[in-house]
């Protein structure tokens, strides 16, 4: 077996270990900075570059990379005024109900494809929750990451799914079966959703009914209708 350990992968592994320690030993109090710091530490790994290379093979995603598209700034109060059932209205309602800041994420300058991918992912992440229906609690978050992982090879999703399994098994073992069911559901749903979430210009859909968006993407929201993974 070839030895795949190298300096950059070592950095990724060390960052993962530090992330595990920081997340399990210190209260988070809603602070998401450790997640973004961990994601930044993965920049120089081979996995990060492979993810970009694979994503750019998808024409719609490659077009976003070329354009460097990111969502236009928005205000939750304005979105809340859109008709009921639209993506914007539901998104604003959910964010307000949870007290979430839509600009919570750590910003980085877009200087290359890897930094662009991070900002694309960070600036649209909460929209994914609304569109897929995954909760924003710990287990729901990992379920969403499994959905994303099935659709696109984003390094942070790989790490967060494995992180969730480690942390829940050690600190909340009674919830492990719930976590695995949500991971399985997320991966199945992502595998059978033909429309790539990462290829969408979401700020063009604020005034579109959420049901119509799900239909366009081919999201099957009733679990029993999902075929088994081959």
3-state helix, strand, coil split of the chain in percent (to 5) is 65, 0, 35
The pLDDT score that the predictor gives to residue 16 is 59
d(CA 116, CA 8) in angstroms, rounded, equals: 20
The pLDDT score that the predictor gives to residue 42 is 83
Read off the pLDDT of residues 136-180 as tens digits, 9 standing for 90 and up. 998 999 999 999 999 988 888 988 899 899 889 888 899 999 999
**What's CA 205's distance to the chain center, in Å?**
18
The pLDDT score that the predictor gives to residue 12 is 58
Q: Which of 121, 181, 184 is nearest to 147 (CA)?
A: 184
The pLDDT score that the predictor gives to residue 39 is 84
Mark residue 5 as left, alpha or beta (left: phi above 0; alpha: psi -120 to 50; beta: remaining): beta
Ranges of the chain with pLDDT below 50: 1, 4-7, 24-29, 224, 229-230
- Predicted TM-score (pTM) of the model is 0.84
The pLDDT score that the predictor gives to residue 13 is 57
């Amino acid at each position: 077996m070839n030895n795949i350990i190298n300096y950059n992968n070592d950095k990724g592994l060390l960052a993962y270990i530090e992330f595990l320690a920081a997340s399990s030993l210190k209260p988070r109090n809603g602070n998401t900075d450790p997640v973004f710091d961990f994601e930044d530490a993965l920049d120089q790994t081979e996995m990060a570059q492979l993810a970009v290379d694979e994503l750019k093979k998808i024409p719609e995603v490659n077009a976003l990379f070329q354009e460097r598209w990111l969502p236009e700034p928005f205000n939750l109060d304005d979105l809340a005024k859109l008709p009921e059932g639209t993506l914007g209205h539901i998104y604003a309602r959910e964010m307000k109900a949870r007290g979430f800041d839509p600009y919570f994420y750590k910003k980085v300058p877009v200087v290359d494809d890897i930094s662009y991918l991070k900002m694309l992912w960070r600036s649209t992440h909460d929209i994914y929750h609304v569109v897929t229906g995954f909760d924003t609690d710990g287990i729901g978050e990992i379920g969403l990451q499994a959905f994303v992982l099935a659709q696109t090879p984003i390094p942070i999703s790989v790490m967060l799914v494995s992180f969730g399994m480690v942390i829940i098994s050690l600190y909340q073992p009674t919830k492990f079966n719930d976590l695995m069911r949500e991971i399985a559901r997320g991966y199945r749903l992502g595998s059978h959703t033909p429309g790539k979430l990462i290829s969408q210009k979401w700020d063009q859909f604020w005034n579109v009914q959420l049901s119509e968006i799900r239909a366009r993407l081919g999201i099957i929201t009733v679990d029993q209708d999902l075929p088994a993974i081959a």
